[in-house]
Amino acid sequence: MSLRRDRVRLPAAERRRQILDVTTRLIAERGFWGLSMQDVADGCGLTVPGLLHHMGSKDSLLVAVLEYRDEQDQRSLLSRLGAPADRFTLAQTCAALVRRNAEQPEIVRLFAVLEAESLAPGHPAHAYFRKRQEQTLAAFAGLAENRHPAPAMLARQVMALMDGLQIQWLRDPSGIDLVATWDALAGPLLADLG
């Protein structure tokens, strides 16, 4: 006797969002290497071939999750700032990023786990995280241009502070107020930028 899986048919865009949300949660819990396509399919009420029909492969699913989260974060940042990010200071932009991240520990955990895993050159997200780091550093340095004598070095300090603080917060979310701690630590670093 074969088991029939009851599936709910969803519009393609809605199914894709469901797949990305389920995958995000599972990667945050287990890391990419602990992710099974069967678990993603089960979480979405699909078969593995059905999942592959929508996403192609495990590697392309990972990249799709990362790009989807970047799109969501960019929309949120623009909404919080009320205008394009380049119209704001580095301090304002970083404060908005930290506030956004404080509201989504699962996503911050996902990125922290994947970023660490992707240090291995063979990881499917290795190139993605290298490019993302370069783009973030360039954006931060650009916001400090003409306001700081060493904008590239300041960008590295800000990114190191943000990444390190988020790791500490993920380890002790009830003991660390991410936003208040960021404000206290970043304030002196960014005070002279105007």
CB atoms within 10 A of CB 18: 18
Indicate whether 105 belongs to any domain: yes
Residue 128 lies in a domain: yes
- Average pLDDT value for residue range 1-23: 76
Does residue 3 sit within a domain? no
3-state secondary structure of 56: coil
Mean pLDDT, all residues of the chain: 89
Return the pLDDT at 82.
Answer: 81
CATH number at residue 85: 1.10.357.10
- Summarize pLDDT for 93-106 with one digit per residue, the tens: 999 999 999 998 98
Q: In this structure, is residue 113 part of a structural domain?
A: yes
- Domains held by the chain: number: 1
pLDDT above 70 covers a percentage of the chain that reads: 94
pLDDT tens-place string over residues 109-129? 888 988 998 999 999 999 999
Residues 151-165: what's their mean pLDDT? 97
Residue 181 lies in a domain: yes
Is the pLDDT at 164 greater than 60? The verdict is yes
Residue 2 forms part of a structural domain: no
Confidence at residue 4, expressed as pLDDT on a 0 to 100 scale: 41
**Which structural domain, as residue segments, surrounds residue 79?**
12-193
Q: What pLDDT is recorded for position 177?
A: 98
R_g of the chain, CA atoms, integer Å: 19
Residue 3 has a pLDDT of: 45
97 occurs within a structural domain: yes
Q: What is the pLDDT of residue 103?
A: 92
- Lowest-confidence region among 14-18, 71-75, 134-138: 71-75
- Euclidean distance between CA atoms 156 and 179, whole angstroms: 20
Q: pTM score, two decimals? A: 0.80
Helix, coil or strand: residue 3: coil
Task: Judge whether 134 lies within some domain.
Answer: yes
List phi, psi (to 5°) of 129. Answer: -70, -30
Q: pLDDT value at position 194?
A: 57
For 31-87, how does the pLDDT look when each residue is reduced to its tens digit (9 = 90+)? 778 889 999 999 999 999 999 999 999 989 988 999 888 888 888 888 888 876 567
**Average pLDDT of the residues in 15-27:** 91
What are the residues whose beta carbons fall under 8 Å from the beta carbon of 132, sequence distance 6 or more? 70
**Would you state the pLDDT for residue 2?**
41
